[in-house]
Chain A
Amino acid sequence: MAERYSSFEPKGTRWFLQRITAGFLIVVLAFHFMLLHFVNHAYEITFMGTQARMSQIGYFATMVLFLGTATFHGVNGVYNALVNQGLSGTRKTAVKYTLVGAGLLLTVQGIRVALAMTGMNVTL
């Protein structure tokens, strides 16, 4: 059996990370909803207010981490859902790289947005 898989890439890693990110996301997503719907009402959001929040280093770091974990958790979840439905072969490989690409794009764009929210010029 040993040659059928590589011991350097245990299949359980993604399963484990999915649970770890879940634990983090539970807390941060709840916090995010509370802050932007109850503490600050969504309809009162202005760029000034956003900039004030994002300029705090702790908040900024939390939001970037939030983005990263949410992207992983979501994209990995989609991939798992498709594998569960019997996705295999070339289509599986194609879906895998499409999802990795989409995830990276989302993260990069998200970080640009986060930096812009601090007032930084990120126009290309």
Chain B
Amino acid sequence: MSTQIAEEQQTDEPGTGQPADAEAEAEREENEYAVPEWATESEDGPGENEDTVRLEVFRYDPEVEAKQEPRFDTFHIPLEQGMTVLDALIYARDQYDTSLTFRHSCRQAICGSDALFINGSQRLGCQTQVQDLETPVRIEPLPHQEVEKDLVVDMSHFYEQMDAVDPYFRSEDVEEGEEQRQTRENREKIKMSTRCIWCGACQSSCNIAAGDNEYLGPAAINMAYRFVMDDREEETIKQDRLEIIEQEHGVWRCQTQFSCTEVCPKDIPLTEHIQELKREAVKKNLKFW
């Protein structure tokens, strides 16, 4: 158990998720609603120097007639040491345009709310350092999901796929209150797969999930892996789980493009897990021949 706690506390970028310090907070109060013209409009205003970064943010709002046509808005954000894309977005929203909409919560890469399409790849806003990116930083909502507003996408299909693999521990003959012990080796085996934060970056990056809506997708298959490989569940339950993932739109659709593995903010070896489940499924079927 202690391993698990240690892992969950660990973040890849210590300190980046910290809320802005008090000084900045006070400054912000002063500037509230005073949007300098150069900050949102001009291309070559005072924003173009070393201390600011230009954000190009996808905007769309179906409820306001003038905003129904998708467009990109430009914001010039004062650059700070250690500033993440999420920090920059928060600055833009608080200082320039309060209608700018995006999901965020914990700011430390564990809640999975702020997966965005940043400079052409799926990343967590809170885990991506602005200074590491090419400018202007182009921020779009996750591809292959419908946009609700600005950077907010409809995640319901992703959650449906996750639910399809029964993402919870099942056991048939465990007495009430009995402790479920797991070997260290087995814990190690499923370690990476437990790290999923349901951000949907992998699903969004997957070319097959984009084309085939029924495909379970990398996150759901990884979730299945997490339980299939868990020794504490009985063999019969494992077989049930394999039957879900070995359907036509299960593991077989994976084309090992490695897109999911490359974008996963928690470094889960998704392709490896999918491949292992393919082999498990083949082995299971070979037994009946």
Contact = CB atoms under 8 A, between A and B. Distances in A.
A and B touch in the complex (CB under 8 A): yes
A24 to B, nearest CB: 17
A10 B212 contact: no
Contact of A15 (B211, B214, B252): B252
Interface size class of A (residues with CB under 8 A): 10 to 19
Interface string A1-39: 110110100111111100000000000000000000000
Chain B at the A interface: mostly helix, strand, loop or mixed? helix
Nearest to B210: A86
B253 interface: yes
Interface residues of B, number: 21
B1 to A, nearest CB: 32
A10 B253 CA distance: 14
Contacts of B253: 83-84
20 contacts: A1-B244, A5-B243, A5-B248, A7-B288, A10-B246, A10-B281, A10-B285, A11-B247, A12-B246, A12-B252, A12-B285, A14-B252, A15-B282, A16-B285, A83-B212, A84-B208, A84-B211, A84-B212, A86-B211, A86-B213
Given A1-B243, A7-B288, A12-B285, 10 more contacts: A2-B243, A4-B247, A7-B243, A12-B281, A15-B282, A16-B282, A83-B253, A84-B208, A86-B212, A88-B214
Interface of A: 1-2, 4-5, 7, 10-16, 83-86, 88
